[in-house]
A and B are shown apart, each in its own frame.
Chain A
């Protein structure tokens, strides 16, 4: 099996992967890059991000504000050295996006405009109407076309990392078009495959968000960090989970329960007026808003619908002109998918799984503990997001850390080291292909992908949702463990080679089960409540025991091994997260 060789392999061609690829080209145009993705770059889920990207640019703001908002928003689980670096590199990354043509929304003066987001003391979110992720992704993709050293492998599904001699030396991937396994030999590998929201049944995440890259690293011995922290976005459309951006609240939208009451004032986020004001009410952090919904629902104050209970997001008072100018997608989505026009009616919304704060354990240079292996974007955990990500930090994160991953990989390649052992890579690829062939040859399988996937989704929602308990997590751990065993008897119905989505979905399910396994065990072991990880049986934050990152190690068929790592605190000692009040 002949290997494709490149200096640098990048797996994933969304925002972080593209930014990493461009960073490699900028650092050394002579390095060859193989950019591998299971979809065409513009299909990557960065495309669906709406509200904006945070960076300090205005005179009324400061790096210190961005630091404090991020660290408090993350309930002090962020590594503060990483946050400092992140906020200081953020403005230049967004300015660079302007230089590459990103159509940022503007002030009358011609400067970029910013809007407030939840948990922000000062408005600092750059936006391109409410399609910011779409515009950033297309800007990055189109800019990447300038660089001849980027060779794309679109619609290749990466199955394994090639680790030999303690360093990562490439990957194997299935060319979806032909069904052929292709080995890629490389001096460095960057994983940038995004999140894993599809582990849950109700999510804003597209079909592609199946945690493939997290599992690649996890199976290769890299720990997954802080996997128990899953962000519910407070405002998703029922049934589809389509995201209604936080920008809607940033522009002045309010949330009311079935009595028309702004209930967030009862959850430490009030008083309700004056409105809008930052760090209060509907502009509180996402974890608090989603948790408040859960309590309202329990108290019978939500509205029941065929697709679950909802509350109402009301933007009518903004008026048609402002809605069309600032929130055109919100209007388009509500009209198409809910048959309501938010100019005239409130939008039904409920909390929906949105973002994984956890991911592949990396340091501030985007390096994993395995030599030659890097990761960036949602699949990675630096950690700047701690226990709860601040809205609009993730688009900035994929630029800052995508760029760093590209530069780190370049430096690593330049630092010499040994040559890639191509023959070993080819041998490993044959082994990988045998495992896939075994899937095709299996004839006595009892399980289907769709059946197992549904059971996994249900187990995650029941056991590891917005609120968790020791009992619910024990059940979820057991269920996921069982499903992992049953996965060994999945039967492929489609035995063809060309564009076999039965096969790809089967591989994706395998990845998701490993992510779910790490997640449930990490959550079970963290016996406290912090940020997005809330336990009804351990309702307090416990800094003595758990001011630590969780590291989950893959152990093959057994349960993950859980270890802990100290959080890096530089200047902000853990305190209380204060929202609401009278501040302006």
Chain B
């Protein structure tokens, strides 16, 4: 009896030699507990050492291994062969990003956007260590905790139609992270973050398709974060328009 196998088409692009990307076919053993990353590692170790892709933790927390699988953005360590078998798998780099090599995308734009929203605690005042930890109730923690779960895998940028139209949009993960700090009871930096978040390239570019939230492997819901930021920013606008009553 021949062993069950599964066919993969993997996008290859080596900028030094290839004019344009092409697909390469591989056949790997089928195991019902294998993820797509296991198949890629099998190729790398046994069939073709020239295939390049990013990965590390193999447990969906480091965020390295995002790829398109049959057109959908997925973590390759969290997409099981059994969900595609006996069909074929087409594995490509995440869309909306330049390809660096094979399945590896250029991350620069995302890293700059992450930086631009000031994703760190901006406290009202310096709190001495001797004052101990801030008091934060479980309810206050819960208010922002879901937005702390982002692993920066950028699947949401690959899914976002607005980001696909042009790279100006700050994008789902970065805006959700800004929102995370804005909601943190220890933080007082919302005004500083609004410069980017509420700019033309920020929340207002989002057309609320919600694809970001659908593909998020950590259930972060960036779409909700962006909508909530819009509502808060609109309230700011009214307050600014109607002084002094709005400031009460």
Contacts and interface: CB of A to CB of B under 8 A. Distances in A.
Q: Do A and B come from one complex?
A: yes
Nearest to A491: B49
A492 to B, nearest CB: 8
Interface string B215-236: 0000000000000000000000
Interface stretch (B10-18, B21-29, B159-167, B195-203): B10-18
Interface string A131-150: 10011001000110110000
Interface string A200-226: 000000111000000000000000000
B135 interface: yes
Given A48-B57, A448-B49, A499-B102, A106 B148 contact: no
Interface in B95-150: 100-102, 104, 107, 111, 114-115, 118-121, 123, 127, 129, 132-138, 140-141, 144-145, 148-150
A207 B61 contact: no
Contacts of A177: 100
A336 B52 CA distance: 25
Contacts of A564: none
Nearest to A93: B129
B45 A42 contact: no
Contacts of B157: none
A104 B133 contact: yes
A336 B60 contact: yes
A362 to B, nearest CB: 25
A502 B137 CA distance: 49
Contacts of A134: 61, 151
Interface stretch (A66-74, A107-115, A295-303, A427-435): A107-115
Contacts of A146: 118, 120
A103 interface: yes
A30 interface: no
A53 interface: no
B194 interface: no
A337 interface: yes
Contact of B121 (A99, A107, A336): A99
A101 B180 CA distance: 10
Interface string B182-193: 001011000000
A308 to B, nearest CB: 14
B118 to A, nearest CB: 8
Give the dominant DSSP class at A's interface: loop
A39 B50 contact: no
Contacts of A486: none
B59 interface: yes
B120 A450 contact: no
B64 interface: yes
Contact of A142 (B62, B120, B123): B120
Contact of A143 (B52, B59, B62, B120): B120
A92 interface: yes
Contacts of A99: 121, 123, 127, 129, 133-134, 186
B214 interface: no
A101 B15 contact: no
Given A47-B62, A108-B137, A110-B137, A101 B129 contact: no
A180 interface: no
Contact of A502 (B50, B56, B61): B50
B129 A47 contact: no
Contact of B133 (A47, A112, A242, A502): A112
B33 interface: yes
A142 B184 CA distance: 15
Given A95-B132, A239-B33, A498-B100, A101 B181 contact: yes
Contacts of A110: 134-137, 140
B78 interface: yes
A337 B32 CA distance: 11
A294 interface: no
Contacts of B64: 39-40, 43
B24 to A, nearest CB: 14
A52 to B, nearest CB: 15
Contact of B59 (A98, A240, A450): A240
Contacts of A98: 133-134, 186
A336 B120 CA distance: 31
B129 A96 contact: yes
Contacts of A530: none
A131 B61 contact: yes
A103 B184 CA distance: 9
A572 interface: no
Interface size class of B (residues with CB under 8 A): 35 or more
A341 B75 CA distance: 21
A344 interface: no
A304 interface: no
A95 B133 contact: yes
A135 B186 CA distance: 16
A105 interface: yes
A460 B119 CA distance: 43
A497 interface: yes
B63 interface: yes
Contacts of B54: 39, 43
Given A207-B58, A496-B16, A42 B148 contact: no
A265 interface: no
Contacts of A497: 16
A39 B54 CA distance: 9
B129 A95 contact: yes
Nearest to B177: A142
Nearest to B57: A206
Contacts of B56: 39, 43, 45, 206-208
A47 B132 contact: no
A92 B58 CA distance: 33
A43 to B, nearest CB: 5
B216 to A, nearest CB: 14
Given A43-B56, A99-B121, A106 B138 contact: yes
Nearest to A101: B121
Given A95-B132, A98-B133, A494 B121 contact: no
A395 to B, nearest CB: 15
Contacts of B187: 101
A101 B61 contact: no
A44 B127 CA distance: 29
A101 B62 contact: no
B157 to A, nearest CB: 15
7 contacts: A45-B57, A131-B149, A138-B148, A207-B56, A450-B45, A498-B14, A502-B50
Nearest first, the 5 A-B pairs at minimum CB distance are A110-B135, A101-B121, A450-B45, A206-B56, A493-B49
Given A242-B59, A499-B52, A499-B104, 9 more contacts: A42-B63, A43-B62, A101-B121, A103-B144, A142-B119, A154-B107, A240-B59, A448-B49, A493-B48
